[in-house]
Amino acid sequence: MATYGYARVSASSQSLTIQQAALSASGCDVIRSEKATGTKLEGRSELETIIQFARAGDSITVTRIDRLARSVGDLATIVKRLEAKGVTLHVIEQPIDTSTAAGRCFLQMLGVFAEFETAIRRERQMEGVAKAKAEGVYKGRKPSIDAERVKALASQGMGATAIARELKVARASVYRLIGK
């Protein structure tokens, strides 16, 4: 029986060191880490590797439930996959151990709160963006395509596909700019 540790941070500027140290101190045999968003399962190759590698009787440990998933749906998907393989989930900072009924119940409650926290954060962010736009402070990101160059190439008779290839942009973006 092996114990696998999983550490995750969202931003490349964040450090995994504290989580890795906690996982190591809790007795994890192998620790996999990644810098990826927790709001979706896609693109989290280290988590997928641990889930696929774990066998019946093994356990996966995380420091906090939000390091594993930010939505109840994703959390349920992960736990269901682990249970189907006979793998348990342990969370260091919260009393979660899916080998017990109380641990599974607490896991589901925390999952609801993690999803709620994410939704509230997103709402606050959108409110801040709307306020900044209203005050003329926020203008959005800078265009990644030179619209004038696209129009100039189109006026010279170059087609959308050729323009897209020349500027290394999507053809749909070219069509949007030349109004076809």
Enumerate the active-site residues: 10
Find out whether 20 and 7 touch, Cβ atoms under 8 Å. Answer: yes
Cβ proximity of 75 and 67 under 8 Å: no
DSSP assignment of 1-40, as one string?
A: --EEEEEEESSTTS--HHHHHHHHHTT-SEEEEEE--SS-
Question: Which residues, 6 or more positions from 19, have their beta carbon under 8 angstroms from its beta carbon?
Answer: 7, 8, 9, 33, 63, 67
Asked whether the beta carbons of 54 and 87 are under 8 A apart, the reply is yes
Q: Tell me the residue type at 146.
A: D
Residue keyed to tokens 């774990």? 54
